[in-house]
Amino acid sequence: MLELAALLDGAIKILTTLILVRVLLTWVPGLGMNHPAGRAAHRVLAQVTSPILDPIRRLMPPVAGMDLSPIVAILLLQLAGGLLVDVLMTLGP
């Protein structure tokens, strides 16, 4: 179970990082959708992170024009991941 807990923890960290990178790319004008590298990065990041962010966006509209779904997604990922890792750790080897 220790290996599964470590794998789950790593996956949560990777997903969190990908969501953060997606958010940061929207803030960098030079790497926007008009730049080829920006388009490619956005496409890959969207394919990985949209299944997490889209359901949250459907439930939670933008606040003052800001999309807060990445913050909620990261908080939920951390919470769910932490709980699952704790459960796996208590199940033992």
What global pTM score does this model have? 0.84
Domain boundaries of the chain, sorted by first residue: 2-91
Q: What was the pLDDT predicted at 33?
A: 64
Q: Determine the 3-state secondary structure of 66 from DSSP.
A: strand
In angstroms, the Cα distances linking 80 to 19, 33, 74, 85, 87 are: 16, 32, 10, 9, 11
Q: Could you state, in chain order, the average pLDDT of each consecutive group of 10 residues for the chain (93 residues)?
A: 85 95 81 70 90 95 91 96 87 72
Q: ∠ at Cα 22 (18, 23), nearest 5°? A: 120
**Neighbouring C-beta atoms of residue 19, cutoff 10 Å:** 21
Residues in the chain: 93
